[in-house]
Chain A
Amino acid sequence: QSALTQPPSASGSPGQSVTISCTGTSSDVGTYKYVSWYQQHPGKAPKLMIYEVNKRPSGVPDRFSGSKSGNTASLTVSGLQADDEADYYCSSHAITTNAFVLFGGGTKVTVL
């Protein structure tokens, strides 16, 4: 069960938008609505930013949005701020012979 595919890095200037992709297969992202996105600052635990493809937990700014098309999910961060500089991970419900959760390899977002 290979990890979901994310670009290793992405960047943007303050105020701009950046979009991160997360590519899976029909056994995970392509079939299930259970795609999540996490933000992780260095030395800290991950923080849930998006769940069920496009839902935001309470307290997460609406600058963060999620979407999905086919086997690829995306996270868009609009109006980039310095504190958005972090690693971002996607995850998805997956099934082979049994159900489990698959993470992506992570994307480092740099605010220029």
Chain B
Amino acid sequence: QVQLQESGPGLVKPSETLSLTCAVSGYSITSDYYGAWIRQPPGKALEWIASVYHTGRTYYKPSLKSRATISVDPSKNEFSLNLTSVTAADTAVYYCAREMASSADYWGRGILVTVSS
């Protein structure tokens, strides 16, 4: 069955870079789906961050584009997110998801990332 699993540090210091990886199983990342990162600050709404296709094509939320980089590694069946210059406002549960036509049909469980010194 389709599964996605986020991994990465749960604590990041302000001004540093947040790095997360999503391991995909149950389908090939080279199939006709995008990989997406979506986050949710505690008690707040979902926020889509970025998506990547296996060819390397990417698209980003405009307000995060200057700090976010999404990438894909088809050989490992995984995709990743880097978010630079983090602040407390970046504290959130980060989800990875499988996406097609702007719709996310499978989600990981999410990983809480806290930005604090």
Do A and B make up one complex?
A: yes
Contact of B48 among A48, A101, A105 (CB under 8 A): A101
Known: A99-B59, A100-B60. A105 touches B45 (CB 8 A): yes
A98→B51 CA distance, assembly (Å): 12
Contact of A57 among B62, B99, B101, B105 (CB under 8 A): B105
Known: A34-B103, A45-B109, A48-B105. A101 touches B60 (CB 8 A): no
Tell me the smallest distance from the CB of B64 to a CB of chain A, in Å: 9
Most chain A beta-carbon neighbours within 10 Å: one of B36, B48, B108:
B48
Tell me the smallest distance from the CB of A30 to a CB of chain B, in Å: 15
B34's nearest neighbour on chain A, judged by CB, is A101
Please report whether the interface of chain B is mostly helix, strand, loop or mixed according to DSSP.
strand
17 other A-B residue contacts (CB within 8 Å) besides A51-B101, A98-B62? A1-B61, A1-B63, A32-B102, A36-B104, A38-B46, A45-B110, A46-B104, A89-B46, A91-B46, A91-B102, A97-B62, A100-B60, A101-B36, A101-B61, A101-B99, A103-B46, A106-B46
* Chain A residues close to B by CB (< 8 Å): 1, 3, 32, 34, 36, 38, 40, 45-48, 51-52, 57, 89, 91-93, 96-106
A-B contact pairs, 21 of them (CB 8 A): A1-B63, A34-B103, A38-B46, A45-B95, A45-B108, A46-B95, A47-B107, A57-B105, A89-B45, A92-B102, A93-B102, A96-B62, A98-B65, A99-B59, A100-B59, A100-B60, A101-B36, A101-B102, A103-B45, A103-B47, A103-B48
